[in-house]
Amino acid sequence: MRSLVTSLAAVLAAFALVALPAATAATAGRATVSRLEVTEKEYSLTLSRLRVHGGKVIVQVLNFGMDNHDLVIKANAKSGKTWSFAVLSPGSHATKTMTLPAGKYTLSCSLPGHRQLGMVATLTVTG
């Protein structure tokens, strides 16, 4: 009986040593992902937050308007990297995961005239 208890204790201790680092790594990985929701409608973009942490960012775009809209995210830095979402019909949505370094970004709808009518916003990504 004593050897059974000792064996069971050894198995549980080994499991704890393996599971704890894995759980910590998974929790740490989730903590580094930021989320941003962008709501589009005539003629505005509303961001769920104006600042996100740099690194992996999950961006979800929701078209709550009556017209089609797309979304373009452009870095304001010299590199000017651009991420684009396809045109969304009314009531639809899209999600992308991207890696954003620290800096300022301009978000806008690139359909003719939409940016000029107010479908533009600024996002700050912190280091």
My answer on whether 17 and 74 are in the same domain is: no
- Integer Cα distance of 80 and 87 in angstroms: 21
* Residue 23 CB neighbours (<10 A): 10
Residue range 105-127, pLDDT digits in tens: 999 999 999 999 999 999 999 98
Beta bridge partners of 56: 99
My answer on whether 44 and 20 are in the same domain is: no
Q: With pLDDT > 90 as the criterion, what percentage of the chain qualifies?
A: 71
Statement: residue 28 has pLDDT above 90: no
- Integer Cα distance of 35 and 96 in angstroms: 10
Q: Is the pLDDT higher at 58 or at 7? A: 58
Handedness of CA 59, 63, 68, 74 (dihedral sign): negative
My answer on whether 57 and 112 are in the same domain is: yes
Q: What is the pTM of this model?
A: 0.74
Range of the structural domain that residue 55 is part of: 33-126
